């Protein structure tokens, strides 16, 4: 089985846990709450009336939150289960959206249009092995003057081991293979055996250079001394919605965001 097929299989399994988790809180979302955080809501700008493509949309809560704000949304994800749930949510909540099951690297097989905004977030690029190819796809699917916006976990976080010591290389080395026996939500235990994840870590310069070298002009770049999710071990909430490692508090970067315009 290829790397992406392993990830497809594990994300199918994780999705069924995530939709039942307090972490994703699908119940509140169905009642009308947004799943988007203040960072992306403030930084992305006006989405009303814009054609928005969400890369790696998981089961569609963020995509549909943008639909509630008036965007004309399309979501793609490699997981069959995620796309199935996303399409069901769209129908149940009468929120117009298109969802396609596709690897990011193969979206030209399912899409042939251009977008005003391309969005991706929180735990997405670590599933991609080639950011140059990723940025070429972003360029290909954006209209001239269109906006690419991402908010992601800071690559520094991925250097830490479970004891929070620097253990991994910050700069790109090899792919990281993990046996999947839990996920990051509170109902985390996975019973299915032999699931494997394959991930790739990318330094900030790799992310920014891939965009710059592929026709995107960086307009905003931020780093944040907190995490919006309690998704790693040993985190404490210092303010509502601001999580940090107790050991390092706000001394280290936890997330970053980039907004770029296609020239």
Question: How many residues are given for the chain?
Answer: 263
Q: Would you give the distance in Å from CA 1 to the centre of its chain?
A: 24
The closest alpha carbon to 203, from 247, 253, 262, belongs to 253
CB crowding 84-101: b at 16 or more within 10 Å, else e = bbbbebbeebebebbbbb
241: contact with ligand SAM by CB under 6 A: no
**Toward ligand SAM, which CB reaches closer, 62 or 72?**
62
- Closest separation in Å from C-beta 225 to ligand SAM: 20
9: contact with ligand SAM by CB under 6 A: no
- Closest separation in Å from C-beta 30 to ligand SAM: 15
Q: Please choose, out of 54-62, 110-118, 131-139, 188-196, the segment that lies near ligand SAM by the rule CB under 6 A.
A: 54-62
63: contact with ligand SAM by CB under 6 A: no
Q: Which two tokens mark 93?
A: 């909540």
Q: Which of 56, 74, 183, 257 touches ligand SAM by CB under 6 A? A: 56
| Dist CA 136 CA 213 (whole Å) | 9
**Toward ligand SAM, which CB reaches closer, 30 or 49?**
30
Q: Please choose, out of 119-127, 137-145, 197-205, 250-258, the segment that lies near ligand SAM by the rule CB under 6 A.
A: 119-127
The closest alpha carbon to 71, from 101, 102, 40, 92, belongs to 40
Q: Please choose, out of 67-75, 90-98, 117-125, 219-227, the segment that lies near ligand SAM by the rule CB under 6 A.
A: 117-125
| Dist CA 82 CA 59 (whole Å) | 4
Name the phi and psi angles at 232, rounded to 5. -120, 165
79: contact with ligand SAM by CB under 6 A: yes
Residues that bind ligand SAM (CB under 6 A): 4, 7, 11, 56, 58, 61-62, 77-79, 82, 103-104, 121-124, 127-128
């Amino acid at each position: 089985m290829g790397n992406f097929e392993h990830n497809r299989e594990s994300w199918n399994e994780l999705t069924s846990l995530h939709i039942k988790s307090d972490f994703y809180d699908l119940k509140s979302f169905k009642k009308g709450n947004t799943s988007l955080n203040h960072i992306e809501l403030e930084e992305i700008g006006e989405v009303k009336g814009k054609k928005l493509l969400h890369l790696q949309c998981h089961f569609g809560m963020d995509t549909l939150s943008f639909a509630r704000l008036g965007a004309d949304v399309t979501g793609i994800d490699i997981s069959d289960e995620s796309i199935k749930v996303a399409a069901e949510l769209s129908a149940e909540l009468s929120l117009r959206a298109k969802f396609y099951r596709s690897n990011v690297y193969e979206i030209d097989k399912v899409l042939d249009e251009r977008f005003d905004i391309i969005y991706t977030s929180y735990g997405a690029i670590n599933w991609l092995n080639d950011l140059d190819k990723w940025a070429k796809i972003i360029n290909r699917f954006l209209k001239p003057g269109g906006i690419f916006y991402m908010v992601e976990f800071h690559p520094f976080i991925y250097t830490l081991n479970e004891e929070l010591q620097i253990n991994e290389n910050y700069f790109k080395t090899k792919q990281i293979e993990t046996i999947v026996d839990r996920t990051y939500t509170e109902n985390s235990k996975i019973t299915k055996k032999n699931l494997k994840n394959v991930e790739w870590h990318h330094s900030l310069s790799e992310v920014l250079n891939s965009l710059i070298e592929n026709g995107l002009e960086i307009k905003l770049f931020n780093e944040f001394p907190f995490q919006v999710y309690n998704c790693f071990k040993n985190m404490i909430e210092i303010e509502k919605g601001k999580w940090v490692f107790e050991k390092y508090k706000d001394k280290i970067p936890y997330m970053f965001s980039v907004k770029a315009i296609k020239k």
